[in-house]
Structure 1
Amino acid sequence: MVTGYTGRLRKLDDLAFAAAARAYSDEHPRPAFATAAAVRSAFATGRVVTVAGDSVSIADRDEVALDVVDPAAATIAASLTLRDVAAWRAELSRAGITPTAVGEPNTAIGQVRFSVAAPVSITTAQLEKARLFGARVEPVTRHHQTTWATLRRSPPAGLDVGGATLPDDQIDLIGLHVLRGIPHDAYAIVTGESPDDYWYVLPITIALAATMLVFAWALVRAIRRDLWPARAG
């Protein structure tokens, strides 16, 4: 539930910036997300069904991006309040862990990070066995970016992301940067507006209605006074 929010829902075409918003949308790609299965289904059709249920058209030039967890890599975040970098290196070596890279110590948070070429589960077990509780193990996420032209040539074994083939079951979502126009019946939320801002509408409506009744009454009296006697004569 959203609290502390004030706004009003209005038709986009009723707003002054509607044309500018539509022009921007037609010229700038927006991200849409789809599963690996949905992407494979779109190889032949050129239309992808997103996780939101929309069907979007995608062209060869459109960019595709995805993040996947590297199953053969991990990062050890070690506390510098217990040991310095050299001491951590020695302790990790005794635990059978050989870092492939060491980050710059972060003195602000008192932490140093070691890159390891081993799965998270194995690295965690090694730390626990060595009773090195001043460190935690984090997964490593790899970012891949390519185009739809490259991706749609993927083999059945996995998705080709330009230099690497990733198994479908390792992929959660795929980001597709596509051009999508704003629907003709779109609405916009105008923030800062609330019903209290239009308190004067009801009194004005009542006053106008009363004025119309007075004029209608005057018109009827004028007709009865000026026209009906003439007809009777």
Structure 2
Amino acid sequence: MTDKAAIGATLTISSKTYSAWSLRGWLLCKLAGLDVAERQVPNDAANRAELLLLSPSVLVPRLNYKGASVWDTLAIAEFLNELFPDSHMLPADPIARAHCRSISGEIHSGFTNLRSALPMNLKVKHEKFPVFSGARPDIERIETIWSDCLETYGGPFLFGEKPTVADAMYAPVTTRFISYAVALSPPCETYCHTIADWAPMKEWIAAAKAEPEEMEELDVEF
């Protein structure tokens, strides 16, 4: 049994239907090749106290592995990249690697209007949806980021033939664009479907659709 066999590796997540941050953390583990035991904590009053015991900031995802407890998605990405460099979670070229880190940081800290206007919900798919005008600049910026990466590195993923940290970070955005029928340029629309066809995404979406309907939508996007 190898180090990646996940003895004691646990990822605490919230709803697979609604939690973009949980999806990011889970995809990062998949990129690293680390199999984890999932601990799913619904967002209700009974479980909030348990979440507080796990993390004073009530944040998921949280990765527990080999004595480390890591609860921020970018921190999880860097932690796993250090542990498993052969997984190539970041591009090998230093310029591309810096670019990858930059756009991953941008989605991590920004785009609040997009998050508010188009919350992640993997159980809905609208044929037409009115997008709040304040979210348009966010959508345009994301299209610029994706178009630049796809043109520079050749696709089908943002940094070439294989997915990286950036694809894990932007994956929830692709689900939003698909769910709410956001009109995109052809390359960006193709990228959304590339992510939807990525095997880990198919696995996550199938699990989300199997979640009980009574699981409440998150009041805070973990």
TM range (shorter): under 0.3
Q: Which has the larger radius of gyration?
A: 1
TM-score, normalisation: structure 1? 0.18
Higher helix share: 2
Higher relative contact order (CA 8 A, sep 6+): 1
